[in-house]
A and B are shown apart, each in its own frame.
Chain A
């Protein structure tokens, strides 16, 4: 199966502290990976996406960064958290059908981040 592991599930961090959220996938190679932030009334905001190791596309200039050090690992980071970084963060990957073509997105369980 093509599984996404995302942790931690919940996190409370003080303002100004660093952040590292990790997402790993199993059962597929060279997946397209995404970080989203979900906020009430704003849907899923695309933050970063990656089509391969070291390849990061940033969609929203903000206090966050992403890295892809390994094929199946996608990390969301911040050097100094802001109150406005609070939210629900989702990692996603595109599925791969039997023919190798990309299918729909599959999501991790998400991380609820509260910055205090």
Chain B
């Protein structure tokens, strides 16, 4: 079945620690890739997106993600997290058919 997998459901880090959240998908062919963030009590907002070109994508708030086509992965990274990064993070994949699938999310808690 077509799917988007986020293997880390809960992550707890201390401030200044480095972050990497995994995202894998099971489609072949051309895809567009996204990371969204949902802060407590707020709505989804886009962190970054990949459509083509440089597989290392930089987004807002110091986040970046790397598309590795051979591994069907689009992992999210941040070198030094802050308490304000506490949120739920969602990876999403869009196929050429316009089907847009989200992963189950990763809840990040950053301790001050």
* Residues of chain A whose beta carbon lies under 8 Å from any beta carbon of chain B: 32, 34, 36, 41-46, 49, 51, 57, 59, 90, 92, 94, 102-105, 107, 109-110
Contact partner of B90 (CB less than 8 A), chosen from A44, A59, A110, is: A44
Cα–Cα distance between A77 and B90 once the two chains are bound (Å): 26
B56-95 interface (Cβ within 8 A of A): 90, 92, 94
Cα–Cα distance between A104 and B91 once the two chains are bound (Å): 12
Interface contacts (Cβ under 8 Å), in number, total: 49
Asked whether, in the complex, the Cβ of A49 is within 8 Å of the Cβ of B104, the reply is no
Would you call B12 an interface residue if the criterion is a C-beta within 8 Å of the partner chain's C-beta atoms?
no
* With A44-B90, A103-B49, A107-B44 as contacts: A36 and B102 at CB distance below 8 Å: yes
Contacts of A49 on B, CB cut-off 8 Å?
98-100
| B interface residue count range (under 10 / 10 to 19 / 20 to 34 / 35 or more) | 10 to 19
Contact partner of B104 (CB less than 8 A), chosen from A36, A41, A59, A110, is: A41
Contact partner of A46 (CB less than 8 A), chosen from B32, B34, B44, B101, is: B101
What's the nearest-Cβ distance from chain A to residue B42, in Å? 11
Contacts of A102 on B, CB cut-off 8 Å?
32, 94, 98
Contact partner of A105 (CB less than 8 A), chosen from B9, B92, B103, is: B92
Cα–Cα distance between A4 and B99 once the two chains are bound (Å): 19
Cα–Cα distance between A41 and B9 once the two chains are bound (Å): 8
Contact partner of B99 (CB less than 8 A), chosen from A57, A90, A92, is: A57
Asked whether, in the complex, the Cβ of A34 is within 8 Å of the Cβ of B44, the reply is no
Contacts of B9 on A, CB cut-off 8 Å?
41
Contacts of B99 on A, CB cut-off 8 Å?
46, 49, 57, 59
Contact partner of B102 (CB less than 8 A), chosen from A32, A46, A57, A103, is: A46
Would you call B46 an interface residue if the criterion is a C-beta within 8 Å of the partner chain's C-beta atoms?
yes
Cα–Cα distance between A94 and B98 once the two chains are bound (Å): 9
Cα–Cα distance between A72 and B42 once the two chains are bound (Å): 25
